[in-house]
């Protein structure tokens, strides 16, 4: 069982106040949020079993236990998915250079004026088109999108809502790190970002998680000015850790 599962459970237990869970506050509390015994009571499981889960012991919780914990911890749908992925474990991919299949690598170029790129397991940029290069200033072959976000000054100019977008992509990296806690490239990237960015040092312990999804972002485009672009993410069927992201820019001269 992953130690990361225990870290995740503790982080969510500590954010729930006893009063919010309908529990009386008795005595002096040394830690924020719920005690283990209180969460176990709310979930209808033994405190010993919960201790084993939080300690990363080699035990396998049933779907019923995971459902009960999700309800007691008031997990969002994304957090519930993350909980199940952590409980399922999984193999750690090899520490080898990641490449997109030729058929996948060629997709961004087919999308013309729509900015598009393909990323690997920890947001290494595997392929992108000219429209993406124009939109994401100073991004280059071999770049990493999360590293660009936190260490490239142009990112704060390109993204109108930089802080929110930076928090979002860090939450997605947090989810990846949880599923692959021993992946060498993921581990190195997290260490590098923690060293380089005060925002990462401040936000990483909060354990916010998120998954790729469709939505909108605001950019300062070099030709169109401030624009709101819609985007969607698609996982590659044969390699689900690789993702194709496509943006649709508005026609005209921007907002």
CATH number at residue 84: 1.10.260.40
CB contact burial 194-218 (16+ within 10 A = b; e otherwise): eeebebbeebbeebbbbebeeeebb
**What pTM value is reported for the model?**
0.72
Q: Which of 53, 88, 123 is the last residue of a domain?
A: 88
Instruction: Say if residue 74 is in the same domain as residue 182.
Output: no
As for how many domains the chain has, the answer is 2
pLDDT tens digits for range 153-166? 999 999 999 999 99
pLDDT of residue 237: 84
Instruction: Say if residue 108 is in the same domain as residue 68.
Output: no
> Does the residue 254 lie in any domain?
no
> Does the residue 95 lie in any domain?
no
Instruction: Say if residue 157 is in the same domain as residue 237.
Output: yes
pLDDT in tens, the chain (255 residues): 468 888 889 898 888 888 777 777 666 667 778 888 888 889 888 888 888 888 887 777 878 888 889 999 999 888 888 888 888 765 445 556 788 889 999 999 999 999 999 999 899 999 999 999 999 999 988 899 999 999 999 999 999 999 999 999 999 999 999 888 888 889 999 999 999 999 999 999 999 988 877 899 999 999 999 999 999 999 998 788 899 999 999 875 444
C-alpha distance across the termini of the chain, in Å: 50
For the chain, the C-alpha Rg in angstroms (whole number) is 21
Contacts of 225 (CB under 8 A, 6+ apart): 253, 254, 255
CATH number at residue 238: 3.30.450.180
CA within 13 Å, CB half, 170: 25
- Domain coverage including residue 28: 3-88
Instruction: Say if residue 72 is in the same domain as residue 115.
Output: no
Instruction: Say if residue 23 is in the same domain as residue 62.
Output: yes
> Does the residue 93 lie in any domain?
no
Q: Which of 36, 58, 88 is the last residue of a domain?
A: 88
Bridge-based pairing state of the strands 243-248 and 215-221 = unpaired
Instruction: Say if residue 111 is in the same domain as residue 213.
Output: yes
Q: Is 109 left (phi over 0), alpha (psi -120 to 50) or beta?
A: alpha
> Does the residue 30 lie in any domain?
yes
């Amino acid at each position: 069982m992953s130690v990361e599962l225990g870290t995740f459970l503790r982080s969510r237990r500590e954010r729930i106040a006893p009063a919010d869970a309908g529990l009386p506050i008795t005595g002096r509390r040394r830690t924020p949020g719920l005690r283990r015994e209180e969460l176990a009571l709310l979930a209808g499981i033994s405190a010993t079993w919960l201790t084993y889960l939080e300690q990363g012991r080699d035990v396998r919780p049933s779907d019923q236990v995971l459902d009960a914990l999700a309800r007691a911890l008031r997990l969002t749908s994304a957090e519930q998915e993350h909980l199940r992925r952590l409980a399922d474990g999984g193999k750690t991919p090899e520490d080898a250079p990641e490449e997109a299949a030729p058929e996948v690598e060629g997709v961004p170029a087919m999308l013309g004026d729509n900015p598009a790129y393909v990323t690997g397991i920890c947001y290494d940029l595997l392929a992108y088109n000219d429209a993406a290069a124009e939109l994401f200033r100073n991004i280059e072959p071999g770049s990493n999108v999360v590293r660009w976000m936190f260490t490239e000054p142009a990112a704060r100019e390109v993204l109108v809502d930089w802080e929110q977008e930076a928090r979002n992509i860090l939450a997605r990296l947090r989810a990846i790190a949880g599923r692959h806690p021993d992946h060498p490239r993921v581990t190195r990237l997290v260490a590098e970002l923690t060293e380089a960015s005060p925002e990462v040092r401040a936000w990483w312990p909060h354990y916010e998680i998120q998954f790729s999804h469709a939505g909108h972002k605001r950019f300062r485009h070099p030709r169109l000015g401030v624009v709101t672009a819609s985007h969607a993410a698609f996982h590659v069927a044969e390699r689900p850790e690789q993702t194709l992201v496509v943006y649709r820019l508005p026609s005209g001269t921007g907002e």
